[in-house]
Amino acid sequence: MPVAADLADPDSLARGFAALGDARLDVLVYAAAADRGDDAAYRAAYVDGLRNAIAALARRAEAPRRVFFTSSTAVYAQRSGEWVDETSPTEPTQFRGMRMLEAERELLASGMPATVLRLGGIYGPGRTRLVERVRSGRAWIHPGPPRYTNRIHRDDAVGALCHLAALALAGEPLAPIYLAVDDEPADEAVVLRWLADRLGVSLPPPPPGQGEGSEPNRRCRNARLRAAGYRFRHPTFREGYAALLT
């Protein structure tokens, strides 16, 4: 039964959960999205909304077997191409990562059985921004050393959540955090050249003054998710974008 509720309104959430009656709530996936790109919107969607959902769950007589929170690799601040995994330092300097990390800690300290899924950049149907930038000539290769990017196809983001939820329902132990990225942290230049070749377009030179910048630059490992038994439908950007372009 669908239930509509306002994540920012604790009373609305309480009514939403009450509408479920005695139905068993086996798994909750908290997969909200901010409606704006500012700190206040991120706090409302990820920190306050999750806190309200946890409070509403706590009032139910029966807690779910697992609560999942879709976080982001933005919690990492490494900028020199380092390899990172679930145990690596998380010291974000931008509000997006800071709010995600705050929400993660809120959930993991709640006392409920919980798992955080740190997603890389999601692409797929409806998420074709990079393809359109290359197609329109608005993407270029930045000068300097490799700039690594970490991504996951939409279908694998959903697939990983479903896989972990099935494990939880089967009583299998889960880790508190999983990195959900594909098998290849790819140099942005490699991805852009591959897309340009498939689209039959040329990449323009970088505009004047485009230096190396200070964007995130790390390589995320998915070994823990792989060890949990998940098998990717699109193990690298090549399979994923090929399916999308087809």
Q: Is the domain covering 10-245 a CATH 3.30.470.10 domain?
A: no
User: 1 falls in which pLDDT band (50, 70, 90)?
Assistant: low
| Residues contacting residue 226 through CB under 8 Å, at least 6 positions apart | none
DSSP element (H, E) containing 116: strand 114-119
pLDDT given at position 213? 58
**Cα–Cα distance measured from residue 44 to residue 176, given in angstroms and rounded to the nearest whole number:** 23
User: Within a 13 Å sphere around the CA of 85, how many CA atoms are in the beta-carbon half?
Assistant: 9
User: 210 falls in which pLDDT band (50, 70, 90)?
Assistant: low
pLDDT given at position 136? 97
A 10 A CB-CB count for 212 gives 12
pLDDT given at position 212? 56
| Residues contacting residue 211 through CB under 8 Å, at least 6 positions apart | 142, 143, 144
End-to-end CA distance of the chain: 35
